[in-house]
């Protein structure tokens, strides 16, 4: 043990064991230049470390420069991975510990999940209040579709600058700054006196959401590997869903005591508090040493074009994402709330809030098992069945509404199952497929496809509902989901 410690001090680590305990696994993985984490790659990396080809990695191998510039990562190999304490690391020890660490969820994801929980509360609180505000302002379904579409437009336009900023400024500023913009947008909703003001407020909110999602998704990518990608991202979606379970109850309670505008001011204050907590609690996950941009960085547009051209799976995922969000924005977010609030159902805000809270509860309960399934079978394989289940729910909405509360609740539950199956699967699949240097651009493309769907779905299906009735809008959403599931059912060759 003394000889190992002395050798590690020679490579620059004065207190090997203490240093090893502090070093996060991701730092070791970057130093090892691991990407796939399969057996063949691990064997290749081990052979590279084994400089003298004796079948084990020793302190002398590390001293010869296996980890140039990162002695802390070198300390981990012998102080944390050497089970028998003989001062040499066998391939079995190396494979066992790298696979174990690459499969575990990084604890740094939990503060980010906490901010997403508070964000989910704010979004859920809006659900039962927005129909009342729309009624107070005298908006038609088409007007409301335009308002929801403005939110999608702002997210779409905001993705590219957010992707650039998240690389140059880090993850934490995007998360906290995005929450601040969302708070400002909710305050502006409360102050709106017509469709123009409401649309402008939703534009601000959309830019904030683009920043928040960019920061949190890149943080999850930083902290994950192909062995735990979906499981690492799952707490973000689960926390957001947990917030949306609690949010409708909060929104309904506020709406019963306050007018809609004042309720939005209160919700904006909650999001502003979330922004402050995010800045205080979250550590930035971008490793500056590993990701410092080159002197002349390519444009985000160029990176996006390259990702679209060189990674076929990105194109498949974008098609699925645009369809899912078109149907969700048009059917679930725009038409369904108006159906629930209008005749013959005429549900109260508290009842609407309970129904949407039920959807969020299903997503919350399903998050962990679905993420585990995605990591086991591959996240891309869950996308087609998720679309089929969502399409079936939208097709069932007209008949479900005729059966009152119970029928609507059942159809919304099926829709929630489809959303849970989709979950973080597209993001995890895109992160796995894209090279590290184009990961931000690939994720921006994926988010942009969803925002195009959000924009087109809200405006299009809102207009269809106004012109041909809500049944036609639900039928269009169902047909789009099922057709797209058939088109993307087979993953592209690897």
Residue 176 tokens read as 């906290």
Partners of residue 88 on adjacent β-strands: 58
Q: At what angle do helices 300-310 and 312-327 cross, to 10 degrees?
A: 100
* pLDDT of res. 26: 78
- Under 8 Å between Cβ of 414 and 385: no
* pLDDT of res. 3: 44
* pLDDT of res. 181: 93
| Side-chain half-sphere CA neighbours of 267 within 13 A | 40
Q: Is the dihedral of CA 146, 463, 461, 314 positive or negative?
A: negative
Instruction: Name every residue whose Cβ is closer than 8 Å to that of residue 64 and which is 6 or more positions away in sequence.
Output: 51
- Under 8 Å between Cβ of 124 and 246: yes
DSSP 64-110: IIISTT-HHHHHHHHHTS-TT-SSEEEHHHHHHHHHHHHHSPPTTHH
* pLDDT of res. 173: 92
3-state class of 56 per DSSP? strand
Residue 320 tokens read as 């699925």
Q: Which residues of the chain have pLDDT under 50?
A: 1-19, 288-298, 492-494
User: What CATH number labels 109-487?
Assistant: 1.20.1250.20
> Which CATH class for the 2-103 domain?
mainly alpha
* pLDDT of res. 71: 67
Same topology for domains 2-103 and 109-487, yes or no?
no
* pLDDT of res. 180: 93
What tens digit of pLDDT does each residue of 368-412 get?
788 888 888 888 888 898 899 999 999 988 888 888 888 888 988
Q: What does the domain layout of the chain look like in residue ranges?
A: 2-103, 109-487
What tens digit of pLDDT does each residue of 132-172 get?
777 778 777 777 777 777 876 787 788 778 878 887 888 89
What tens digit of pLDDT does each residue of 109-124 get?
888 988 888 777 777 7
* pLDDT of res. 175: 93
Nearest to 389 by CA among 341, 353, 349, 425: 425
What tens digit of pLDDT does each residue of 282-318 get?
888 876 444 444 434 445 566 667 767 777 788 888 8
- Under 8 Å between Cβ of 457 and 325: yes
What tens digit of pLDDT does each residue of 378-388 get?
888 888 988 99
- Under 8 Å between Cβ of 452 and 328: no
- Distances 275 to 53, 110, 176, 395, 431 between C-alpha atoms, Å: 53, 16, 5, 39, 26
């Amino acid at each position: 043990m003394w000889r190992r410690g002395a050798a590690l001090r020679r490579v620059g680590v004065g207190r090997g064991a203490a240093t090893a305990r502090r070093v996060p696994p991701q730092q070791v993985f970057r130093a090892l230049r691991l990407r796939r984490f399969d057996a063949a790659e691990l064997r290749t990396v081990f052979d590279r470390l084994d400089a003298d080809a004796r079948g084990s990695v020793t302190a002398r191998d590390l001293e010869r420069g296996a980890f140039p510039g990162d002695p802390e990562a070198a300390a981990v190999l012998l102080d944390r991975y050497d089970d028998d304490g003989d001062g040499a690391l066998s391939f079995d020890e190396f494979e066992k510990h790298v696979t174990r660490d690459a499969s575990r969820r990084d604890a740094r994801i939990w503060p980010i999940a906490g901010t997403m929980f508070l964000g989910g509360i704010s979004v859920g609180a809006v659900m039962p209040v927005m129909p009342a505000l729309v009624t107070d302002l005298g908006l038609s379904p088409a007007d409301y579709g335009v308002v929801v579409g403005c939110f999608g437009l702002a997210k779409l336009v905001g993705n590219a600058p957010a992707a650039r900023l998240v690389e140059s400024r880090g993850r934490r500023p995007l998360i906290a700054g995005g929450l601040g913009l969302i708070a400002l947008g909710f305050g502006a909703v409360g102050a709106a006196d017509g469709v123009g003001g409401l649309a402008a407020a939703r534009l601000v909110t959309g830019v904030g959401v683009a920043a928040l999602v960019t920061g949190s998704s890149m943080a999850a990518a930083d902290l994950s590997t192909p062995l735990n990608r979906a499981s690492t991202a799952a707490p973000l979606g689960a926390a957001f869903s947990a917030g949306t379970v609690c949010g409708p109850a909060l929104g309904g309670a506020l709406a019963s005591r306050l007018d809609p505008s004042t309720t939005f001011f209160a919700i904006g204050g909650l999001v502003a508090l979330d922004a402050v907590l995010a800045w205080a609690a979250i550590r930035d996950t971008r490793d500056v040493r590993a990701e410092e941009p080159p002197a002349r960085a390519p444009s985000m547009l160029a990176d996006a074009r390259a990702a679209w051209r060189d990674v076929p799976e990105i194109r498949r995922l974008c098609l699925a994402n645009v369809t899912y969000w078109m149907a969700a924005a048009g059917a679930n977010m725009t038409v369904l709330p108006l159906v629930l609030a209008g005749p013959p159902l005429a549900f109260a805000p508290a009842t609407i809030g309970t129904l949407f809270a039920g959807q969020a509860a299903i997503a919350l309960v399903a998050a962990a098992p679905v993420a585990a399934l995605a990591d086991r079978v591959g996240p891309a394989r869950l996308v087609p069945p998720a679309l089929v289940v969502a399409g079936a729910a939208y097709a069932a909405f007209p008949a479900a509404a005729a059966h009152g509360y119970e029928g609507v609740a059942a159809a919304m539950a099926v829709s929630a199952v489809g959303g849970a199956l989709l979950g973080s699967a597209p993001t995890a699949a895109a992160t796995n497929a894209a090279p590290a240097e184009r990961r931000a651009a690939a994720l921006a493309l994926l988010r942009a496809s969803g925002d195009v769907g959000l924009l087109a779905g809200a405006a299009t299906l809102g207009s269809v509902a106004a012109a041909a009735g809500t049944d036609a809008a639900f039928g269009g959403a169902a047909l789009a989901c099922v057709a797209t599931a058939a088109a993307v059912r087979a993953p592209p060759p690897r």
